[in-house]
Amino acid sequence: MEKKDLAIGFLIGVCCIIAGTFLFLFMFTEFSSLSDLKIINESGVLGKVMALGAVLNIAAFYILLQKKKELMARGVILATIILAIITVFV
């Protein structure tokens, strides 16, 4: 059960990162389609945009802690740490 909760939390974290990235792109930039991701990647700012998209993980972490789901909250933190490592190399 512990590993399952951790995996669920990790998936929640990844989904929040993806949703946050797309929300940031569509609300605060002139990019409006998925094909624009290629342009963003070529310009070298995809890692920075993904890091800004990870802000939603704060809300997911807080909600999970309020519901006493500590292992799922750890999974969200794990997703954030892995994103930080990926951001360094992207």
For the segment 12-33, what is each residue's pLDDT rounded down to a tens digit?
999 999 898 888 888 877 776 7
User: 29-60: string of b/e by CB count within 10 Å (b at 16+)?
Assistant: eebeeeeeeeebeeeeebbebbbbbbebbeeb
The amino acid that residue 10 corresponds to is F
pLDDT on residue 86:
83
pLDDT tens by residue, 30-70: 776 777 777 887 887 777 888 888 888 999 999 999 999 99
Distance, CA of 5 to chain centre: 18
Radius of gyration of the chain (CA): 14
Token pair of 20 as six digits: 């946050």
Confidence (pTM): 0.84
pLDDT on residue 59:
92
pLDDT on residue 1:
67
* Confidence check: pLDDT of 90 > 70: no
Cα 39 from Cα 32, distance rounded (Å): 12
Cα 85 from Cα 83, distance rounded (Å): 5
